[in-house]
Structure 1
Amino acid sequence: MNTHSIRYPQPLASGDTIGVAAPSSGVDESLHHYLNESKRNMERLGFHVQESRWLRQNIKCVSSSKENRAEELNTFFHDPAIKAIIPPWGGEFLMDILPLLNWEALRSLPPKWVLGYSDISTFLFAYTLLTGTATAHGTNYVDLRSNKLDPVTARWIDVLQTGQGGQITQSSSTHYQSAWIRESPGFNLDTPSRWKLLGQPNDANASVTFSGRLLGGCMDTITCLIGTPYAPVATYLDQYCADEGTIWYLESCEMNAGDIYRHLWQMRQAGWFAGVKGFLFGRPAGYSDTGDFNFTDALSSALGDLNVPVLYDVDLGHIPPQITFVNGALGHVDVQAGHAGLQMSFV
């Protein structure tokens, strides 16, 4: 049975302060208008914005030294005025700050929402595993600069405004964006979207339902934590997920089919998929086949004998839009004819 309960941050409220820290990449001067536009939108929604010292620079893929990045994140967590932390975007080397964070303090301080994806999921993953605190895997700060968000992306605020004991349901997209157009605020959702069930990709009437505690992130980055003190997955599963099992949600960026298979193989051999009830895979970005070995071959080879549902082309990750997934929340997935609902209970 579960021996610990997930800690959920207080719901985000109008008038609260959002801290914009850069624990991975910062923002070059040429793109500061992105930050200005996002700040205006946050203020329009009724929030105050506090930017970190190192946010508006980027040197060799990071905003500043690992010591500076860790210090600013520690400071934001200690500041009672900051109620949520939303980095500008991901990056490459967030793992460098994990040994420098005050984990004892993070376990005892009131929990705060942290929202992001890509390399930010490296912190989300470790923070949830090490402290039992719910974290939000979803859109980043820069992509909130549009005055009008699509219906999927716009739900980020509803998720962060849901508190302990609450429940929220999100729906899959009707269309996704096939290519990035960074200079255009908002997304160009130009391609019909349909969640597919592994083994039945062309079955327009395929349906499946399953439940479990949500856990996951970007495979490119969270797998670097295997074998380190920052990914005690077995302990977490035993303490928080023993009763319900898990739903793993995963996405990839810059990996080919062979890479994806190797990463999934490693995660499985490390025991991460014990008690799994189902998988959700985002549309892979920067992807290519490995000869005649493709994405679904990778999923089948790594997971096909687990006899649990494996869904792919999910609204998740680097190909927008994406649902906001909460690590630690009890999730219920319901897919009917390619259209999906994700209900999350904050219990």
Structure 2
Amino acid sequence: MTYLQKPHALQPGDTVALVSPSSGLAGEAEIQHRVNTAIKRLEEDFQLKVKIMPYALKGIDYVQHHPQKRAEDLNNAFADPTIKAIITFIGGIDSIRVTEYLDTDIIKNNPKIFMGYSDATSLHLFLYQQGIASFYGPAILTDFAENVEMDDYTTHWIRQTLFQSEPVGNIPTSPYCRRFGLLWHERTHTTPRPKIENHNYEIINGVGRATGQLLGGCIESLNSIKETPIFPDADAFKDKILFLENSEEPLSVPLLAEFIEFLGTKQILKNVNGIIIGKPQNGEGYESYKRTWQAMLENFNLHDTPVFYNASFGHNEPKCIIPYGATASLDVDAQTFTIHDNACK
């Protein structure tokens, strides 16, 4: 079993730091209305204080060319005793460039909530290597700045995962998904995004009940760093529940098959106890991705491994939070996904 240090749960009045470890989109003038909306909700809805780290709003060009400054923001946020949580503004493509500048001593000595998804996968796996629990969950420009209001499903799982120290519990799928594609113009910020009716988990493989600690991330991000020291070795996946999802851009079936082939030939698929897969954005590619998974699992003779499909995390709004290292179970007969641990202490 992998032991990860858990952070303290958030309390009203705590300070959260906002960072841009990937894209600097939050610093662009046309996005400022979303930044302001998210800050207001953090302050009013969650009763938190907000500190924007110095380089987080420097804009796309500056942030892209200064990974050491992105790391400086993260190092200082971890080192600051007044900061209790760190949340990413948005994903991107190259947060792995930040990892070489991170101060492992500071991070190990100051475990605290770090949350983001998509390209934040690299940072989550870096923290995992340091023995620090982190959270694959909502980002500032997407979930906290959702048009009109945040979704109840998202706010419930923020409170259930980050604001208390009891077991997270059973996590059903969201009853709906927000349609991706409404541009982030200020003039459309008061227009609610359409809802797509959603359904329960679909069991696409396996039997019985799988239990293990959670480990995973965004498929495209994992694929891009699979040959780097940040990617866990096969032994790290032993007896784990692997969680995976793809980005907002439709994932090509050949790329998905290539990635699953990698997981299989590296013995990762054989090592995990179960797999939970996020719903594709807008449901695009839903059936073709499912068939690809089923065919590849058949190729590797993994008939019994429970695989849940259509989960509400990652590039879906609304979403739940997946705490790295927490013990979870996938029950095929009951069609339930349950996190048995507390995520925070």
TM range (shorter): 0.7 to 0.9
Mapped to 2, the partners of 1:151 and 1:335 lie a distance apart of 27
Q: Separation in 2 of the partners of 1:341 and 1:315? A: 11
Instruction: Determine whether 1:295 maps to 2:289.
Output: yes
How far residue 311 of structure 1 moved from its aligned partner, in angstroms, is: 1.5
Q: Does the 8 Å CA contact 1:125/1:222 hold for their aligned counterparts?
A: no
Shift of the 199–72 alpha-carbon distance from structure 1 to 2, 3 Å rule, reads closer
In 2, Cα distance between the equivalents of 1:268 and 1:68? 37
Q: Aligned to 2:212, what secondary structure does the other structure show? A: strand
Cα offsets for 1:241-274 (capped at 9, x unmatched): x6xx111110012321111111121133234335
Aligned to 1:174: 175
Tell me what 1:203 maps to: none
Q: Which residue of structure 2 aligns with residue 136 of structure 1?
A: 135
> Is the contact between residue 22 and residue 87 of structure 1 (CA under 8 Å) also seen in structure 2?
yes
Deviation of residue 171 (structure 1)?
A: 2.4
Partner of 2:316: 319
Q: Which moved more, 1:82-91 or 1:170-179?
A: 170-179
Equivalent of 1:158 in 150, 157, 160: 160
Q: Does 1:331 align with 2:331?
A: no
Contact 1:279 1:311 in 2 (8 A): yes
Residue identity in the other structure for 1:33: H
Question: Measured at CA, do residues 209 and 235 of structure 1 come closer, stay the same or move farther in structure 2, by a change above 3 Å?
Answer: closer
Amino acid at match of 1:119: D
**Counterpart in the other structure of 2:276:** 280
| TM-aligned CA deviation for residue 235 of structure 1 | 5.2
Q: 1:20-39 CA deviation, whole Å, 9 max, x = no partner?
A: 01101121111111111111
Other-structure match for 2:106: 105
SS at match of 1:12: coil
1:13–1:103 Cα change, 3 Å: same
TM-score (norm 1): 0.84
In 2, are the aligned partners of 1:9 and 1:112 still within 8 Å (CA)?
yes
Secondary structure in structure 2 of the residue aligned to 1:198: strand
Q: In structure 1, give the amino acid aligned to 2:277.
A: F
- Runs of 5+ in structure 2 lacking a partner? none
2:334 and 2:255 map into 1 onto residues whose CA distance is 30
- Measured at CA, do residues 50 and 65 of structure 1 come closer, stay the same or move farther in structure 2, by a change above 3 Å? same
The 8 Å contact of residues 18 and 83 in structure 1, kept in 2 or not, is answered as: yes
SS in 1 for 2:280: coil
CA 1:309–1:341: 2 relative to 1, 3 Å: closer
1:250 aligned residue (221, 241, 244): 244
3-state SS in 1 of match to 2:124: helix
**1:12 aligned residue:** 10
1:195 paired to 2:201: yes
- Does residue 229 of the first structure (1) align with residue 226 of the second (2)? no
Three-state SS of the structure 2 residue aligned to 1:273 is helix
Amino acid at match of 2:126: A
The 5 A counterparts of 1:50-69 are 50-60=51-61, 62=63, 65-69=66-70
Q: Distance in 2 between matches of 1:162 and 1:265?
A: 39
How many residues align? The count is: 325
Distance 1:294 1:341, change over 3 A: closer
The structure-2 alpha-carbon separation of the partners of 1:87 and 1:64, relative to structure 1 and needing over 3 Å to count, comes to farther
- Secondary structure (helix, strand or coil) at the match of 1:124 reads helix
2:21 is aligned, of 15, 20, 23, to 23
Structure 1 vs Structure 2 CA RMSD? 2.6
- Alpha-carbon shift at residue 68 of structure 1 (Å): 0.9
Amino acid at match of 1:68: K
State the shift of 1:179 in Å.
Answer: 2.9
1:194 maps to a residue whose letter is: N
Paired position in structure 1 for 2:38: 38
Preserved CA contact (<8 Å) 2:234 2:271 = no
Query: Cα deviation per residue 1:284-324 (whole Å; 9 max; x = unaligned)?
Result: 238876xxx92123212332322201121211221322221
Cα distance between partner residues in 2 of 1:336 and 1:344: 18
Q: How has the CA–CA distance of structure 1 residues 94 and 72 changed in structure 2, closer, same or farther, with 3 Å as cutoff?
A: same
Q: In the alignment, is the contact (CA less than 8 A) between 2:202 and 2:308 conserved in 1?
A: yes
Q: How far apart are the structure 2 equivalents of 1:334 and 1:141?
A: 32
Select 1:310's aligned residue among 298, 307, 310.
307
Identify the residue that residue 339 of structure 2 maps to in structure 1: 343
Unpaired runs of 5+ in structure 1? 201-206
Does structure 2 conserve the Cα–Cα contact (< 8 Å) formed by 1:223 and 1:267? Answer: no
The one-letter code sitting in structure 1 at the alignment partner of 2:23 is S
TM-score normalised according to structure 2 size: 0.85
Which protein has the bigger helix share?
A: 2
| Counterpart contact for 1:226–1:270, Cα < 8 Å | no
Identity within the alignment, %: 23
